[in-house]
Structures are given as structure tokens and as C-alpha cells.
Amino acid sequence: MALTVAEEKAYYERQYARFLQVSPDDLRFCPTAFLRDLDNPRKEVYERRALYAATLAALARLDLSGKHVLDYGCGTGDFGLWMATAESANVTFLDLSANAVAVCLLRAEASGVAHLCAGEARDAANLSCFPDASFDVVYGCASLHHTLKYPGAWRELLRVLKPDGALVLTETYGNNRLLNVLRRWNWRRSNLPQEQGEDVIFDDTHLAVLRQSFTTVQVRPMHLLAMAKRPLRGRYDARWVRAVLSVLDAADRALLWLFPRLKRYCGEVLVVASARTPSV
């Protein structure tokens, strides 16, 4: 059964409430520390380090200084904060959860970029607070697959993005049925509230929707065998685990070079869409 927007909101309000208790020192976002954390096996971001590093490089190429960016489904806002602190972008944090947006704004203040940041707590299916063509870039990390199930969300996203703007997505990639079975089994096993919005996994059907609205859609799938990192979560600081991950990464490089068609079965993807088709 599909999650309602109220259930999803309640779930995420609970998830983010604890960050409101954190001290300003711990809320501060430092872009160099964020980059360092990507290489630190004890940090949560280590698991997605290659995907996140590719995302930061793609965002940096957009030359964001002074541009208006919507951090779409921002959560605690790491990427929006990176764009404000490292790239001097004007960032609007958008999330269904008011707690998430409040945390992002507290973090912006603690990081000295409050003047570059704004926030809106609302359902992405109704962005009437933003005029047409408000943003040069819409960035979503693990969020578009949540919002697409709400009627009107895609139309609203396109409306607020400038016709010459870019949509950048960092997503779990869902063409691989085996991976999807394992993911769903893991969600059930971990007893998470049903779906928590994860029932939709971004895949090639979503890319087809993007291609109807953008003439340039760059897709960078990542990690095939290396998705075996997931069961090793929490153990990345063990040397043998990192050795296994290196072997899997090397195997992926060879496999995907030899058989590029396998790329669509990777478990993660970075998408950069630009140049809107005239009909939209």
C-alpha cells in the first residue's frame, strides 16, 4: 500500500528531530572536512564516496557562484551546504519535513552562509511559493524517487527550473531486479515502517521521463559487484573489508569496460539533465 504524504512527513519529522538538539559547533558544515570524510571509513558518507565525489565534481562544473539552487528533498542538507560554502551558490532548502529545513538553516547559520540560504517546508507537489523559472539548478540526492509518486511533483519541478537550467540527481539505481529483491528484503528485515517512501526506486522508466523534458541527459551508473558493500556497512574500517571493496571496484571497472550494457544494472547513478525540450 502506498504511503500517504502525511505518513511520509510524520516519518521524516521524527527522523530529523534529533538534529535540532545538536550544538551549533556540531551543526557547522565544513567543505574540506566533508571531502575528508568521504575517505574516512568510519564516516557514514564513506559508503557512497565515489558517487558523492562524482556528484561534487558535476556540481562544481556548473559554476554555481551567485546562481540559485534548489536542494530538493534536502534532508540535513549536506550538498546544499557544500554548494553554499564551497561554491557561493544561493541555496533554497526544500523538504516535506519542517525539521529538516530548520536543521539546514541552523547549519547554514553555524557555517557562516545564512545570507546565501533560504528554506521552504512543503510538499514538492505544490511549489506555488516559487515563481516559474526560479532556479538555475535543481539538485536532488535520494529524493526524486520519493516525490515522483505524488501527482504534480514532476510538473512543479520543471516549472520552477529555468529553461536553460540543470537538474542534477544522485540516486539509487533500480534496474537490477536481484538488487531490488535484496533491498526490499533488507527493509523488511530491519523492521522499518512500511516503505518510508522507498517503494519507488529510480530506474530507466524515470530516465525516460527525464528524456521527454531534457535533450541532454548524462547518466553515470556506478557500482555493480561493488554493491556487495552494503552488507559490509559498519565494518569499512577493517582492512580486509577495504581490500574486498578494492577488488570489487577493480572487477567492476573491467566488467563494465568489457560489457558496457551491464551499466544499467549498477546500483547507484548520477544524472545531469540540461537543455529543456521546447515543448515543456
Q: Which residues bind ligand SAM (CB under 6 A)?
A: 5, 8, 12, 73-75, 95-97, 100, 123-125, 141-143, 146-147, 150, 197
- 4/65 with CB nearer ligand SAM: 4
Residue with smaller CB distance to ligand SAM, 90 or 147: 147
| Closest CB to ligand SAM among residues 64, 256 | 64
Q: Whose Cβ is closer to ligand SAM: residue 173's or residue 256's? A: 173
Choice between 87 and 195, CB closer to ligand SAM: 195
Contacts of 231 (CB under 8 A, 6+ apart): none
Q: What is the secondary structure of the chain as a DSSP string? A: -PPPHHHHHHHHHHHHHGGGGS-HHHH---HHHHHHHHT-TTSGGGGGHHHHHHHHHHHHTT--TT-EEEEET-TT-HHHHHHHHHH--EEEEEES-HHHHHHHHHHHHHTT-GGGEEEEES-TT--TTS-TT-EEEEEEES-HHHHTTSTTHHHHHHHHEEEEEEEEEEEE----HHHHHHHHHHHHHTTPSS-TT-S----HHHHHHHHHHEEEEEEEEE-SGGGGGGGGTT-TTSHHHHHHHHHHHHHHHHHHHH-GGGGGG-SEEEEEEEEE-TT-
Considering the complex, state which of residue 87 and residue 95 has its C-beta at the smaller distance from ligand SAM: 95
With respect to ligand SAM, which residue has the nearer C-beta, 142 or 262? 142
Q: What is the CA radius of gyration of the chain?
A: 18
Residue with cell 577493480: 250
Least Å distance, CB 185 to ligand SAM, is 19
CB of 105 to ligand SAM, least distance (A): 14
